[in-house]
Structure 1
């Protein structure tokens, strides 16, 4: 049997090898030839977790939270429209200590209400110093509620001009939604004789006010007892947030160096990764990153990720920089 490979076999093997090399380069390099790297950041959490998650109701974002908690503990219904009591979610839970017991704060949707709300939208007209720029009231001359509305509507207008993103949760329906009764009553922008233009950041914007229908949830505040000691609450929080646990003694010197640099300035490497970086990824249970191709096999966004390293909590973040993910 002739051991010499045929020309067809040779070409097939050569093309396959070339494709593999090209695929590897595409995986590591972006469209502009910049090298893609995986970056690890560690952020130290000062103190035990329960100190970050237990809140003082007198200092929370809503002045009604104390009343909401008192009602929930006594088995009474306390409801809010649109605003979630305590701003406590599964991703960012809040707890409170009351008479030696720790309660998990929350809310459930119990109804829906249809309501009409004023919506402020801004659109760019001209630079404030342009000769043909119309006169506009300065944002600083408006009432407090209007100033907030202009700041938020400005983000939406800026995003439409592709000059920056709009913050989620603030911008709604391409502008700012007035929900506070006192703010609506005090507003100059919402009045029938309100200004047609407003000036903000050296730009004149046209003012558009519409009144639109919203269907808003009604929340009932909840408070569930979960622990009788800070140690028990700490265990609950560890179980929820900590993905990995290991000590310095368990890691090689190369892995320790990676972790130390990740905490200071962040640590990054192109694929294929060094032994030290691979060891860290395995210890974090992030094996899907090892082949450098996580977008195809494990690219699902996750919430907060934490590691307990040598008895200290760290938030950690993994992201690609450079290449196609820049």
Structure 2
């Protein structure tokens, strides 16, 4: 129901982490490749997921079919060279590390925005807490309940923060703000039943009853001006730009030994893993995909190293999302 817009360079394979198949069996089992020793170091798992089609299919949107989250008025204005601004919200959710692209009349544009001002606004903030006492009545905040749609969304988002408060786990950044939900849209404030005088003190959501707290708080919000730069006149040029932007290592099967190619086949759509020290073939492949730091068994002590790393690579002319995950201790 609620969708974030994480950086595609870091999280291009968001579904990969949750949808990877079981580890390859038989000769592709953990640590069984070639002359690998029975290691007792961290386990390194490699997964590859083939990307169908071109990068243009994934990243370049047709002017008549923009993503749902884009501000279409901003898109119309910037392509027409007209003045337009948005407040708090980037018009295309784009940044230098995570650009957006659109195709109009045969020309590809890179979209973005720049900050041109700052304003101070006061918005109501909804937070949910455990009730102080027994609750005699509460308003149903589910989709089948009595609250307007804007309030349902507000409660659903504030619920994430209430659920995480005092417990392990987190909540979706970008949706939850200041520990609750911020009513920014004028229409949501006008139609709200929770913001009215004599508003309900308690709501029920997902079989849990919460105490409602509303505070009106000040926010400093950036003002954005959308930008569009023409960058390509042909599909081939656009594909080259996207490769340069998103693709890391480029290798072919001819670059690899037979054992390293076998690891690639085992990791394609599934998983391959070994424990440190790794086999010669695994080390060869890690070097080929520019994952040299992972050859070191003490990589978790190095700076700027994540337990899971994802990157797009090109192998034999096709695009793949590759994921490297380090496991140790009980996870190993």
- The TM-score bracket by the shorter chain reads 0.7 to 0.9
Instruction: Tell me the CA shift for residue 75 of structure 1.
Output: 2.5
Q: Does 1:208 align with 2:210?
A: no
Q: What's the CA shift string for 1:255-295, capped at 9, x where partnerless?
A: 12222222222222211111221111101111111112222
Q: Does 1:88 align with 2:94?
A: yes
Q: Does 1:61 align with 2:63?
A: no
Kept in 2: contact 1:91–1:304 (CA 8 A)? no
> In the alignment, what sits opposite 1:260?
265
Kept in 2: contact 1:119–1:209 (CA 8 A)? yes
**Richer in helix (by share):** 1
Q: 1:281 to 1:227 in 2, by over 3 A?
A: same
Distance in 1 between residues matched to 2:309 and 2:105, nearest whole Å: 32
> In the alignment, what sits opposite 1:14?
none
Distance in 2 between residues matched to 1:325 and 1:293, nearest whole Å: 16
Aligned counterpart for 1:76 among listed residues 66, 82, 90 = 82
Distance in 2 between residues matched to 1:303 and 1:321, nearest whole Å: 12
Distance in 1 between residues matched to 2:81 and 2:240, nearest whole Å: 27
Single out whichever of 227-236 and 132-141 deviates more from structure 2: 132-141
Give the number of the structure whose alpha-carbon radius of gyration is greater.
Answer: 1
Q: 1:187 to 1:300 in 2, by over 3 A?
A: same
Kept in 1: contact 2:158–2:179 (CA 8 A)? yes
Distance in 2 between residues matched to 1:207 and 1:322, nearest whole Å: 43
Q: CA RMSD in A?
A: 2.2
Task: Give the structure-2-normalised TM-score.
Answer: 0.81
Single out whichever of 98-107 and 288-297 deviates more from structure 2: 288-297
Q: What's the CA shift string for 1:131-173, capped at 9, x where partnerless?
A: 9444211112211111111111111011113153201111110
Give the secondary-structure state (helix, strand or coil) at the position aligned to 2:196. coil
Q: Does 1:37 align with 2:43?
A: yes
Kept in 2: contact 1:271–1:292 (CA 8 A)? yes
> In the alignment, what sits opposite 2:137?
135
Distance in 1 between residues matched to 2:221 and 2:309, nearest whole Å: 26
Give the secondary-structure state (helix, strand or coil) at the position aligned to 1:85. coil
Instruction: Tell me the CA shift for residue 123 of structure 1.
Output: 0.9
Distance in 2 between residues matched to 1:133 and 1:258, nearest whole Å: 60
Aligned pairs for 1:1-326 (under 5 A) are 36-57=42-63, 58-62=65-69, 64-65=71-72, 67-125=73-131, 132-140=134-142, 141=145, 142-300=147-305, 305-323=311-329
Distance in 1 between residues matched to 2:247 and 2:215, nearest whole Å: 46
Kept in 2: contact 1:39–1:269 (CA 8 A)? yes
Structure 1, unpaired ranges of 5+: 1-27, 30-34
Kept in 2: contact 1:136–1:196 (CA 8 A)? yes
Q: What's the CA shift string for 1:190-218, capped at 9, x where partnerless?
A: 11211111111111111001010000000
